Amino acid sequence: MSIEFREPAPKREAIVALLSTGGVGPGDRIDKVDKDIVMSTCRKDGTLLHPDMPARSSPLQILRMAFAGRQNPHVPHRYNNFP
């Protein structure tokens, strides 16, 4: 029996993976890979796009979580000047 899972937000997951500065790679079967999403994660020469440092919570988000509970969504931020 084969169970097929479909990621509800694949573009968002690709962005989060890139911003984490961790390992990034397609996890789909070769016949299920979304080439447009995979190719949007790197330059034409194959160099993976990534920020200089991993995304992190903004100071405002940390304050909101500390004083207002966890009602607000987690919004990481990072600035980068891609070459």
Residue 32 makes CB contacts below 8 A (sequence gap 6+) with: none
Amino acid 72: pLDDT: 54
Whether pLDDT at 31 is above 70:
yes
Whether pLDDT at 68 is above 60:
yes
Amino acid 29: pLDDT: 79
Q: Which is nearest to 19 in space by CA: 74, 62, 72?
A: 74
User: Look-up: residue for tokens 């949007």?
Assistant: 40
* C-alpha to C-alpha distance for 1 and 41, rounded to whole angstroms: 33
Could you tell me which residue, 71 or 81, shows the higher pLDDT?
A: 81
Amino acid 76: pLDDT: 60
SS3 56: strand
Amino acid 45: pLDDT: 92
DSSP-H helix ranges across 1-83: 10-20, 35-39, 59-68
Could you tell me which residue, 22 or 81, shows the higher pLDDT?
A: 22
